[in-house]
Amino acid sequence: MKLAGQVALVTGGSRGIGRATALAFAAEGANIAFCHLDDGSRAEATAAEIAGLGRRVLHRSLDVADPGASREFAAEAGGFGPIDILFNNAGMNIRKPFEDYTEAEFDRVLSVHLKGMFFMAQAVYPAMVSRKRGCIINIASQLGFKGAAGSVPYSAAKAGIIGFTRALAQEAAPHGVRVNAIAPGPIDTDLVRQNTKEWQNAFKARLPARRFGRPEEIAATALLLAGPDGGFYVGACLSPNGGDVMH
């Protein structure tokens, strides 16, 4: 198994990409600690699947925009052993015209994404450095490259995640800690399903792949970066996006 005996911390792990990745890591031998925000029933179901694979699992409801809560959760997850992998995935969006955003809405979107990722990474990073090993994977978005009307704060936050990843990767790599990002395109998750059917069909029609991605496809990318085959990825941003952005 590629991750045998390792400990992975997954944010936003009760559903979508986070859930698929937690299960993929567990299937490869990792014990899993994941957090969610008030999603108890789905969290319990995900935890049961992980336990069914023979892995240790814990989950907690917390707001990743709260640095204190992130530190407490990382410390609790450390009860399984040193954290080897951080999968920074928690996210949200508020869609509306640019001129209608309030300061509170802007702060919320940026805080969940950038502040949440920054301080969760900071909570696990010193121990990784002391062990001279570790892997941090941050979920960005193809909108961090191309932007999107009606999602200006979200696009800005995702672009910021790419910059954060590249900067931290340069600082971390000499200490044996690899930091990379994944910038998915439209994936069949709750975030995409919030849009109308008309919007979804129109988006699919202009995608070269003519479909949305599956969470399991992003999980496979995460497994590549976390496992032994991803050892030469440093500061990379892999973008499985169905051809929405080609670079």
Angle between helices 40-52 and 16-27 (to 10 degrees): 20
Q: Which of these, 133, 154, 131, lies nearest to 144 by C-alpha position?
A: 154
Whether 88 and 62 have beta carbons less than 8 Å apart is answered as no
- The span from the first CA to the last CA of the chain, in angstroms, equals 32
| Residue 233 annotated as catalytic | no
- Tally of CA atoms within 13 A in the half-sphere of 137 that contains its CB: 32
Marked catalytic residue, from 101, 125, 154, 233 = 154
**Cβ atoms within 10 Å, residue 130:** 12
Structure tokens at 25: 């890591």
- Tally of CA atoms within 13 A in the half-sphere of 211 that contains its CB: 4
Catalytic residues: 154
